[in-house]
Homo-oligomer: A and B are copies of this chain.
Amino acid sequence: MSSTFGKLFCITTFGESHGTAVGCVIDGCPAGLFLSRDDFAADMARRRPGHGAFASARREDDEVEILSGVFDGKTLGTPIALMVRNTGHNSADYDDLRHVYRPGHADFTYMAKYGLRDHRGGGRASGRETAARVLAGVVAKKILEKMEVAVTAQVTAIGGITITGDFMQNAQVVALLEDCKQNGDSIGSQVVCSIVGLKSGIGAPVAHKLSADLAAAMHSIGGVKGVEFGAGFAAADMHGTQHNDPFVALGGIITKSTNNAGGILGGISDGDEIIMRIAFKPPPSIAAAQSTVDTDGKPAQITIKGRHDPVIAPRACVVVEAMAAITLVDHIMLDNAGRILS
């Protein structure tokens, strides 16, 4: 089940970067949810390359097809298969890469695992695969919306520069990205994901802590190098008197006066905002010349053709939201089931 997320709200994605199509099967979506092709447009646009000065040139039309699970505009409770055909990719760009391992990519490890690979783009490791997750995320977010839970992810840093608002309005960031473009280089970035409106009591102790499952969901996104909650790594430097969040009651609701916990205690939501910070490495596809080896282990020099994103975070926000939403819906369902007697 290396391509399935979740236990009750199960998302199975399929598709290689340069294969026929990418898509997903959502097994476990409740019946009666309104769903149409139009619902996918906004989020698919957010992850689409080719818009913005610094984005990858691949044109993806992303014509979403609902293959099953929807009738008369409503979900049936049965598996929803969603598909987007792959178009606009130029496989010839990858001919030179058939016998060489790109640094920072999964070419070598896929070969080590499978003994063969689709050398045209990253296969399953490609950012293209995330289109399937975004599709599933749209459905998950529609479910959360009905529960008034909002999941939002934002770029908070690029190359060490802190960002508030639109990163394209930040002159320092624009200059940095322009620099990357000139030098055939790329740059790392950070995203913060916020979950608001989740009631307390969602999650599980021990093996499926909400924090553990959210962290796994984030680390499943390509390029993620670190994930932290609330005070995060800074907590390692703090005292207990400083880190412990005092409980207070506001208008009859028990909450906390600070939120170093990041909204999760003992793996279970405490009703507060869940705050998660995610670190992305710089994209490994760079135009600058690189040393590597070929598939026989002989030294080689490569220059990666085509135009590639110089930074991951801007396009990854919608993927972060999708994965967080998918994880939440799965946990809410598990929790709902556990309360069968009450």
Contacts and interface: CB of A to CB of B under 8 A. Distances in A.
A336 B244 CA distance: 36
A120 to B, nearest CB: 8
A281 B341 contact: no
A206 B66 CA distance: 20
A244 to B, nearest CB: 4
Interface stretch (A44-52, A56-64, A268-276): A268-276
Contacts of A299: 248-249
Given A215-B216, A235-B280, A254-B101, A71 B118 contact: yes
Contacts of A208: 1-2, 220
Interface string A246-265: 11110011101000111011
Nearest to A26: B14
A245 B108 contact: no
Nearest to A82: B14
Nearest to A269: B109
A219 interface: yes
B124 A180 contact: no
Nearest to A283: B240
Contacts of A200: 108-109, 112-113
Given A14-B81, A16-B78, A245 B8 contact: no
Contacts of A3: 25, 27, 78-79, 205-207
Q: How many A residues are at the interface, by size bracket?
A: 35 or more
Contact of A25 (B14, B31, B160, B334): B14
B67 A23 contact: yes
Contact of A236 (B30, B71, B160): B160
Contact of A206 (B25, B129, B236): B129
Given A1-B27, A212-B219, A281 B235 contact: yes
Nearest to A187: B239
A211 interface: yes
Contact of A76 (B116, B240, B337): B116
A40 to B, nearest CB: 15
Given A76-B114, A249-B299, A32 B243 contact: no
A237 B2 contact: no
